[in-house]
Amino acid sequence: MAAPDLAQVAALERASYAFPWNDQIFSDCLRVGYHCMVVETPAGVAGYAVLSMGAGEAHVLNLCIEQALRRHGIGRDLLRAVLVHARDRGIRDAFLEVRRSNTSAISLYQSFGFECVGQRRGYYQAHDGREDAMVFRLELGALADG
């Protein structure tokens, strides 16, 4: 991901989440040096992932695939790519938060071996109040190359 991708990334974000990140958050992620990847197609950006790393831990902060292209293995490939990036830089553990209701993402994470290690009550905005986050962790040593 680079600055010229940001308009498409932010548009995809708005189309994908009820409570999207704003454009500034993506530019801040680039500015501070987070590992930000895009999936490029001839039609433009079709997905992206944002990963922070530090103190031996990686955090998957965002992972999103354009709706029309979902369920073709692109999310799995992109998630693997960012996790391999972290593992190959000596990071031991990856963490992420996910809405309790986000069953597709939870299945994806569990298929990698991510395990739920906690929850954050009321972490997310929701239309009817707040929603809990489930916190998942994966030991990157257990990550298959795929």
Q: Candidates 2-10, 24-32, 61-69, 83-91: pick the segment binding ligand COA (CB under 6 A).
A: 61-69
Strands 44-54 and 35-41, how do they pair?
Answer: antiparallel
The rounded radius of gyration (Å) of the Cα atoms in the chain is 15
Min dist. Cβ of residue 144 to ligand COA (A): 14
Judged by beta carbon, residue 87 or residue 99, the one nearer ligand COA is 99
Binding of ligand COA by 9 (CB under 6 A) = no
With CA atoms as reference, report the closest residue to 36 among 7, 70, 1.
Answer: 1
First-to-last alpha carbon distance for the chain, in angstroms, is 23
- Is 64 among the residues that bind ligand COA (CB under 6 A)? yes
Nearer to ligand COA, 12 or 90 (CB): 12
Binding ligand COA by CB under 6 A: which of 98, 134, 138, 140?
Answer: 98
Q: Binder to ligand COA among 59, 102, 123, 126 (CB under 6 A)?
A: 102
Using the rule CB under 6 A, is 70 a contact of ligand COA? yes
Specify the stretch interacting with ligand COA by CB under 6 A; choose among 24-32, 50-58, 59-67, 122-130: 59-67
The amino acid present at 108, given as its one-letter code, is L
Q: Establish if 63 lies at the interface with ligand COA (CB under 6 A).
A: yes
Q: How far apart are CA 91 and CA 119, in angstroms?
A: 23
- Contact in structure between 9 and 50 (CB atoms under 8 Å): no
At 2, which helix (H) or strand (E)? none
